[in-house]
Amino acid sequence: MEKPNLSFWKLWNLSFGFFGVQIAYALQSGNISRIFRTLGADPHSLSFFWILPPLMGILVQPVVGTLSDRTWTRFGRRIPYLFIGAAVAVGVMCLLPNAGSLGLTVAQALIFGLVALMLLDTSINMAMQPFKMLVGDMVNERQKAKAYSIQSFLCNAGSVVGFLFPYIFTAVGLSNVAPEGVVPESVVWSFYIGAAILIGCVLYTTIKVKEWDPVTYEQYNGAKESNEGGANWFTLLRNAPSTFWKVGLVQFFCWAALLYMWTYVVDAVSETVWGTIDPTTEGYQTAANWTGVLYAIQAMGSVVWALLLPKFSNTKVAYSVSLLLGGIGFALIPFCPDQYLQIVPFLLIGCAWAAMLAMPFTFVTNALQGYGHMGAYLGLFNCTICVPQIVAALCGGAILSHVGSHPSNMMIVSGVLLAMGSVCVFIIQNNGKKE
């Protein structure tokens, strides 16, 4: 039986909590390197602090997907995991930015921050994963691209808010500088307010969305509940459609590039525009705030580009062009010595971000129709986001040394990686469906 068409507002409600989750994710990705540099981390070891989050993602996401495939409660199938993940994230968001204010040594503060980051990323992923599963469960193939586009819009809207928080709070009078080793008030309060918005958005989704019961789910998805628990992950991977692996290859280059952006872009912008990578200087903290603005501009550009993507007649061309534009954007960052010129590369990066949010899941969920185990498969597919980040994090310090120890040169590395991903898009097959 074909799934019914859903109204715009039902599609919206399925994904609205994504707005709050993405605020938390934006605060993490936009400020973690800034926090660790402020706590005393060396640039050459900075990427190592990014290993634990994707490593936990590899462990948590497939588990959440598999367990939620087997979960049927009066609160829903995916939503309980969403709520638990959001609740943990809120608690950690109130602790992480205070790592430098607890009277700890530099080493202790870094360890505390690392553990908090691990828990934050794990809980955010636990909260984020169910939204993609809800679309896979309840949205028909004709509306799936629209549903993921709504997710992309909410994701980028949340990103804009999260990225701008430190800049806004500095503008209204909170301090953007602090004693050595202490995170500024502008960042601390950004995390506090982001946590409050996150729990509010998740509560909205849990109230508005009513998941199908097991019988209705079976009618529309053609996979019996008993089958959902029957296969292990190795069997699922062995039987996965080729599209799963081909999109995964593209993902490898994309997410390695993004990891280097999150790790080094604050230092890159500070080095290129303000001429310093010393986190104790006012220039560095100003650069960090401005990088948040640039991230927000990237997200706004991504919203606009997401609206244009459906206009392409060929999905693979749209995907490839988007990644290539993002690669050009990364490569331009070291060549824009004025802070306002930096807007141009970040708008181009936004094109790649829009495609990365929506298109991989459109390809993969279409290819998985009739396979069953949608949650487990999407959890496993999220490993194509985590693995490249781990590899990139392990190699980051060595690559930084090979490019002259200039963080700005790492943006060129990211540009090359996205260009390689752009080329690999064309090996994807779309199961004979219209591209």
pLDDT at 434: 39
The tokens for 67 are 């367990």
Residue 48 CA to residue 39 CA, distance in Å, equals 15
Spell 104-126 as b/e; 16+ CB within 10 A means b.
beeeebbebbbebbbbbbbbbbb
pLDDT along the chain (435 residues), means of 10: 84 89 91 92 90 78 72 77 89 92 89 90 82 80 81 84 95 91 93 95 87 75 52 75 90 96 96 94 94 93 87 91 98 97 97 89 77 71 88 96 96 98 89 44
Three-state secondary-structure class, residue 79:
helix
Which of 270, 256, 340, 199 lies closest to 33, judged by CA? 270
Instruction: Report the pLDDT value the prediction gives residue 374, as an integer from 0 to 100.
Output: 66
Closest Cα partner for 272 from 290, 256, 296?
290
pTM: 0.80
State the pLDDT at residue 429. 75
Note the pLDDT of residue 344: 98
Q: Which amino acid is at 368?
A: L
* pLDDT of the residue at 189: 96
Please report, for residues 289, 329, 330, the alpha-carbon distance to residue 336 in angstroms, rounded to integers and kept in the order given. 17, 11, 11
CA distance 14 to 65: 17
* DSSP classification of residue 278: -
Name the residue among 306, 72, 41, 348 with its Cα closest to residue 212. Answer: 72
Rounded distance between C-alpha atoms, residue 194 and residue 43, angstroms: 27
Query: What is the pLDDT, as a whole number, of residue 284?
Result: 94
Residue 73 pairs with which residues in a beta bridge? 76
Residue 223 has what pLDDT? 52
Segment 89-124, tens digit of pLDDT: 999 999 999 998 888 898 999 999 988 988 898 888
- Measured in residues, the chain has a length of 435
Report yes or no: 202 and 20 within 8 Å, Cβ to Cβ.
yes
Give the distance, in angstroms, between the CA of residue 137 and the centroid of all CA atoms in the same chain.
21
The pair of three-digit structure tokens given for residue 397, joined into one six-digit string: 């310090």
Q: Compute how many other C-beta atoms are within 10 angstroms of the C-beta atom of residue 362.
A: 20
Residue 101: name the closest of 191, 28, 223, 230 by CA. 191
Q: For 8-207+214-427, CATH number? A: 1.20.1250.20
Strand partners, 76: 73
